[in-house]
Structure 1
Amino acid sequence: MQEAMLLSIGRFICTVPWFVVCCVPFYPQRRVSRSVMGFVITTVSILFFLSNFFLRLYGDNYIYQSSIVYLILYAVIFGLFLWGFRVAPVKILYIFLLVQAVSTAINYTAAIFLRPFYPGERISLQNNLYYSLVILLITAALAPAVWYFFTHQLREAMAELHNRDFWLLCIPPILIFIVTMIFNDLGNNTAVPQEQAISIFLLITAAGLVTYFINVRLVLNAARRIRLETSVAAMEQQMEVQAQSYLQLTQSIETSRALRHDLRHHLTVMTAFVEQNNINGLAVYLAEYRQNLPPENELQVCGNHIVDVLVRHYLQQAKEAGAEVDVKLDLPADTGIKDTDLTIVFGNLFENAVHSVVRQTSGRRFIFARCGIENNKLILTVDNSTEGKVYDRKGIRQASGIGQNSVKAVADKYHGTVRFSQEGGIYRASVLLFCVLISE
C-alpha cells in the first residue's frame, strides 16, 4: 500500500504540472474555455493517479502495465490537445517532446542531489518520498523561467513558423528521446553504477535542451528576417502608391488651373457670339471646343484607395506596352485586411503581370483580373499573357524573389491560400484571404 501511494504521488508530481505547461504555447488558439480546460486536466490527472495506484497495488506485472498506462495517457492527452486547440499535430508533438526532456532533466537532477544522502541505494519514486518532494521543489524553482520561455519564444514560434518548420525541429528531440530510452535500459542494469547512469542521462538531456533552444532561436530569427524584409517591401510599395497619388493630385491641380485660365478666353469669345446674335457661329465654336477638351481622368478601379492607386499605376504601364486590360475589382474601402497586406498582395501580383506582358516580343498581350469579397473571403485572380517558361520543374516561379514569398506570408497570416500556375502562354495567380476586423 505504501509503495503504491508513494509511486502514485511521485508520478502525479512528475507528470501533471506539465499538462498545464503544454497548454501555454497554444493558449491563443484554444477552442474551449479555461473552465473546460481545467475540468479536463483535473479529470485526466485523477484517473492517472488512480491507475498508477491500483496497478501498483494489484498488478502482477506492474512495469509492463505501467508502460501501457503511459501510452494510453499520452494518446489521450494528444487527442485532447487536438480537440482543445487549433494547432497542427506536429506542433503538439514538438511541445510534448520538449516537456518530456525538461521533466527528465529535473528528475535526474533531483536524483543526483539526493545521492549523497542515500549511498549505495537505488532512488525511485516508489520507495523515497523525498525524491518526489525534491522534484517538486526544482520544478517550482524553474517554473518562472519555463513559463516565460513558453509564453514568449514558444508562443511566438507557434504563431510565426510553418508546420513544415516543426517537422525539422522535431528531429533532434526525437533522436534525443530515442537515446534516453536506450540509456534508460542501461540505467536499469544493476551492473552499471547508478551515479554513472544518472550522469549520462543528465548530460544527454542537457545537450538536448540546449539544442532545442538554439534551433528555435535560429528558426525564429529567420522568420523575423523574412517578416522584416516583407515589411520593407510593403513600405516601399506604399511609398510608391503615395508618390503616384501625389503625382495625380499635382496633375489635377495643374489641369484645373490651366482650364480656369483658358475658360476666361472662351467665355469672352462666346459672349461676343451672343452679342452678335450669331447662333450658328456659337454652335460651331462649342463643337470645336468640345473636341479639344482634355480626356476625362481614368475611372477608379475599386473603392479601396490604396489598391485603386496601386493597380491603376501598373495598368497604365501595361496599356503603354499595348496590353489588353480587363480588370474588375469589387473591393470596398474597409475590407478587414490591413492596407499594408493589401499592398503586398496586389502590388506583387500586378507588378509580376506587367513585367510579363512588357517582356513579350510577340503574341497577344493581356491582363485579366477579378476580385471580390463573399462570406468573409477575399478572392483575387490575375491572369496574364507570358512568353517563355515562368515556372521551373518544381513549380516555383523563376526569379520570383521576395515578392512571391511575401504574398504567401500574407496568405498564411489570414489563414488563406495562394496558387500559381502556367498553362501554355497564360500565367495564373490566385489568392484567397479570410477577412477579419484587425485593430491597427
Structure 2
Amino acid sequence: MIPLYRIIEICVYSLLNFLPFMALALYPFRSRLRFSVKITVCIIVVISFIQMGLGLWAAFFSGGKAALASAVSTAVYVVFYFIAVKVNFGKALFTLLMISNTANFVVAASKCIEGKIFPELAVQSYRWSFSLIMLVVLAVVWIPLFIYTKKVYTPAVEKEPTGIEWRYLWLIPATFYLIWYYMLYNNNGKSSLETALDAGNAVFLLFINVGAGIVYYVIAMLINEQEKNIRLSDNNHRLAMQNLQYENLQEKIADARRAKHDVRHHISLMQEYVRNKQYEELEKYLNSYQQSLPDDTLISFCENKTVNAVMLYFAQVAKNEDIDYDVKAVIPENISVDETDLSVLFGNLIENATDACKEEKGDNRRIVIRAMTDEYTLCLGIDNTFTGTLKKDLSGVLFSSKHKGFGIGVESVKSIAEKYGGTYCAEVKDEMFMSSVLLNLRT
C-alpha cells in the first residue's frame, strides 16, 4: 500500500509545478478568455487533479515510463491553454514557451539545490525536500517574473501595432526551449536526474534563462515603443484631418460672408430687370446666381468628432480624385471605443478604399461607407470599386495584383477588432471590394 505521506508529497509537487506557471501564462490574456472566469477556474481544478494523477502514476505505476506521463501532462497543459485564450496563435505560443522555459529552469535549479542540501532525498522522486526548495526558488523567480508580466509584457501583447511580429517572435523562446532539451538529453549517457544534479548544468541554464529574460524584456519594450510611435503618428494624422475640417468650415463661412456682402448688388440688378420687363434675362441671371452660391453641403457626417474628421479628410481626397463618396453614419459623440482605435480603424479602411479607387480606370469609381452603433456593437462596412484580382500571401495578408498598397493597415484593423472581441472580413463581389468590421462595445 502506498503511504499517505508519499501521495501528499507527489500531489504538492504536481500543484507547484502547474498552478503558478498557469497563472502567469493566463495573466496577460485575462480579458480575452474564451470561457468565463468561473468556468476557467473549474477547468484548471480538473486539470490539477489530472496532473496529480499523472504524477502518482509516474511514481508508482509507470514501470519506467515516467517520460510518457510528462508528455501527457505537457499535452494537456498546451491544449487547454490554446483553447482557453482567444489571441493570435504566435502570441499565445510565445507566452507559453517563455513560461515553460522558466518552469523548466525552476525544476532543474530546485533539484540541483536539493542535491546539495538533501543528497539522500534528491535521488528519490517527488520528495518533500524537492517541493520545499522548489517553493523557495519559485518565490525568488516568480515574483519578479510576475512584475515583468504585469508592467511590461501585458501592455505589449494588449497594444501591439499589427500582430504580424508575433508570427515570428515565438521562434525566440522556441530556440531556448530546444537548448533546454538538448541539455537534458544530449548528456553523454547521463540520466536526467544526474544532469539536473550537476551544478555546472544548473549554472549554464541560469545564464541561458537570464539571457532569455533580457531578450524577452527588450522585445516587449520595443513593441511598446513601436506602438507609442504609431500612436503618435496616428494622432498627428488625426490633427491634420481636424485642421482640414476647420479650414473647410472657415472657407464656407468666408463664402457666406461674401454672398451676404454682394446680395444688395444682386437685388439691385434683379429690380432693374423687373422694371424693364426683361424676364428672360432675369431667369438666366437667377440660374447663374444660384450656381455661384457657396456649397451648402453638410460638412458633418456624424456626431463623433474623431470619425467625422477622418471621413471629412477622405471626402476631400475623394473629391479631388473625382471619386463618388457616399457616407451614411450614425455614431454618437461618446462611444466606448478609444479615439485612437477609431482613427486607426476608419482611417486605414477608408485610405485603402481611396487608394484602390485611384488605381481604377473609368468614371464609375465610388466609395460607400455605412456605419452605425447600438448599445452593444459598432458595425462598419466600407465598399469600393475594385476590378483587380484579390490574393493572399503566405502569411494570409491580402494584397492586389493591380497595385502594391492594397492591404496596408489591414493587420491593424484585425488587431483592433480582436481587441474589442469583434471580427473583420473582406470579400470581392460585383466589382466591389467589401470590408466589414464588427466591434463589441464595452459597457
Q: TM-score range with shorter-chain normalisation?
A: 0.7 to 0.9
CA distance in 1, matches of 2:387, 2:98: 50
Work out which of the two has the higher radius of gyration on C-alpha atoms and give 1 or 2.
1
Q: Match of 1:330?
A: 328
Q: Match of 2:212?
A: 211
3-state DSSP of counterpart to 2:383: strand
3-state DSSP of counterpart to 2:435: strand
The answer to whether the aligner puts 1:315 opposite 2:314 as a matched pair is: no
* Residue identity in the other structure for 1:379: G
3-state DSSP of counterpart to 1:41: helix
CA distance in 1, matches of 2:265, 2:88: 73
Shift of 1:139: 0.9
Q: Match of 1:435?
A: 439
Unmatched runs of 5 consecutive residues or more in structure 2? 303-307
Q: Match of 1:412?
A: 415
* Residue identity in the other structure for 1:332: V
Query: CA deviation digits over 1:210-251, x for unaligned, max 9?
Result: 2254146336514642x3453344334323323332332222
Shift of 1:114: 4.0
3-state DSSP of counterpart to 1:303: coil
> Closer, same or farther in 2 for the Cα pair 1:350/1:234, shift >3 Å?
farther
Do the aligned residues in 2 keep the contact of 1:172 with 1:211 (CA within 8 Å)?
A: no
Shift of 1:261: 1.9
Q: Match of 1:370?
A: 368
Q: Match of 2:70?
A: 70
Q: Match of 1:381?
A: 383
Q: Give me the CA root mean square deviation.
A: 4.1
Identity fraction in percent = 12
Shift of 1:393: 9.4
TM-score (norm 2): 0.76
* Residue identity in the other structure for 1:210: G
CA distance in 1, matches of 2:414, 2:300: 21
Q: Match of 1:360?
A: none
Shift of 1:29: 0.6
> Closer, same or farther in 2 for the Cα pair 1:52/1:262, shift >3 Å?
closer
**Matching residue within 274, 282, 288 for 1:291:** 288
The answer to whether the aligner puts 1:27 opposite 2:25 as a matched pair is: no
Do the aligned residues in 1 keep the contact of 2:325 with 2:366 (CA within 8 Å)?
A: yes
Do the aligned residues in 1 keep the contact of 2:256 with 2:294 (CA within 8 Å)?
A: no
CA distance in 2, matches of 1:233, 1:366: 33
3-state DSSP of counterpart to 2:329: coil
> Closer, same or farther in 2 for the Cα pair 1:346/1:114, shift >3 Å?
closer
Query: CA deviation digits over 1:135-191, x for unaligned, max 9?
Result: 11221233321212223333234332445134434431342243133157854279x
The answer to whether the aligner puts 1:172 opposite 2:175 as a matched pair is: yes
TM-score (norm 1): 0.76
* Residue identity in the other structure for 2:36: S
Query: CA deviation digits over 1:321-374, x for unaligned, max 9?
Result: xxxx333233223496644225522552255246546xxxxx635522223248
Q: Match of 2:305?
A: none
Do the aligned residues in 1 keep the contact of 2:112 with 2:196 (CA within 8 Å)?
A: no
Would you say how many aligned residue pairs link Structure 1 and Structure 2?
413
Q: Match of 1:252?
A: 252
1:23-422 correspondence to structure 2 within 5 Å: 23-53=26-56, 56-57=59-60, 59=61, 61-64=62-65, 66-118=66-118, 121=120, 123-124=122-123, 126=125, 128-159=127-158, 160=160, 161-162=163-164, 163-183=166-186, 186-188=189-191, 195=197, 197-204=198-205, 206-208=207-209, 210-211=211-212, 213-215=214-216, 217-218=218-219, 221-222=222-223, 224-225=225-226, 227-270=227-270, 278=275, 280-281=277-278, 284-285=281-282, 287-293=284-290, 294-295=292-293, 297=295, 299-300=297-298, 303-304=301-302, 305-319=308-322, 325-334=323-332, 338=339, 339-342=342-345, 344-346=347-349, 348-349=351-352, 351-353=354-356, 356=359, 364=362, 366-373=364-371, 376-383=378-385, 405-415=408-418, 416-417=423-424
Do the aligned residues in 2 keep the contact of 1:6 with 1:126 (CA within 8 Å)?
A: no
Shift of 1:315: 1.9
> Closer, same or farther in 2 for the Cα pair 1:153/1:198, shift >3 Å?
same
> Closer, same or farther in 2 for the Cα pair 1:286/1:125, shift >3 Å?
farther
Do the aligned residues in 2 keep the contact of 1:30 with 1:86 (CA within 8 Å)?
A: yes
CA distance in 1, matches of 2:239, 2:8: 69
Point out the more displaced range, 21-30 or 325-334.
325-334
Query: CA deviation digits over 1:251-307, x for unaligned, max 9?
Result: 222222222222223334555677xxx483467435413323315517459833324
Point out the more displaced range, 253-262 or 366-375.
366-375
CA distance in 1, matches of 2:123, 2:39: 34
3-state DSSP of counterpart to 2:147: helix
> Closer, same or farther in 2 for the Cα pair 1:180/1:154, shift >3 Å?
farther
> Closer, same or farther in 2 for the Cα pair 1:47/1:233, shift >3 Å?
closer
CA distance in 1, matches of 2:393, 2:21: 46
CA distance in 2, matches of 1:115, 1:56: 19
CA distance in 1, matches of 2:126, 2:253: 90
CA distance in 2, matches of 1:109, 1:379: 55
Do the aligned residues in 1 keep the contact of 2:111 with 2:196 (CA within 8 Å)?
A: no
Shift of 1:134: 1.3
Do the aligned residues in 2 keep the contact of 1:376 with 1:436 (CA within 8 Å)?
A: yes
Shift of 1:96: 3.3
3-state DSSP of counterpart to 2:87: coil
